[in-house]
Amino acid sequence: MDSLSIIAMASIVTAGLCMAIGSLGPALGQGRAVQSALASMAQQPDERNSLTRTLFVGLAMIESIAIYCFVIAMILIFANPFWSFIIKKAGG
């Protein structure tokens, strides 16, 4: 197996791990935030508008973590800085 194949496999596996681990935390956080918001709305129905607005802002902040992981995974697959180095070393 040549070094270009090893770099390709490592990039794809690392991107997959980045997405798997990086989306697990935000998913759990979003579930917990929604659970807390629904419990608060059940206790104080008059504050529903305020809780909903705050919930959506919080969910957007939590989701940004998963988006950052997605961007890192795409960089590892399509714009990996090691590709040009390995191709130059291979003489291609």
How many C-beta neighbours within 10 Å does residue 15 have? Answer: 20
Residue spans per domain, the chain: 3-90
> Is residue 87 scored above 90 in pLDDT?
no
CA–CA–CA angle 20, 22, 24 (5° rounding): 70
Q: pLDDT digit string (tens) for 1-51?
A: 777 788 888 888 999 999 999 999 999 999 999 999 999 999 999 999 999
Q: Are 52 and 37 in contact (CB under 8 A)?
A: yes
Q: What is the CATH architecture of 3-90?
A: Up-down Bundle (1.20)
Q: What is the DSSP letter of 91?
A: T
Q: pLDDT digit string (tens) for 54-71?
A: 999 999 999 999 999 999
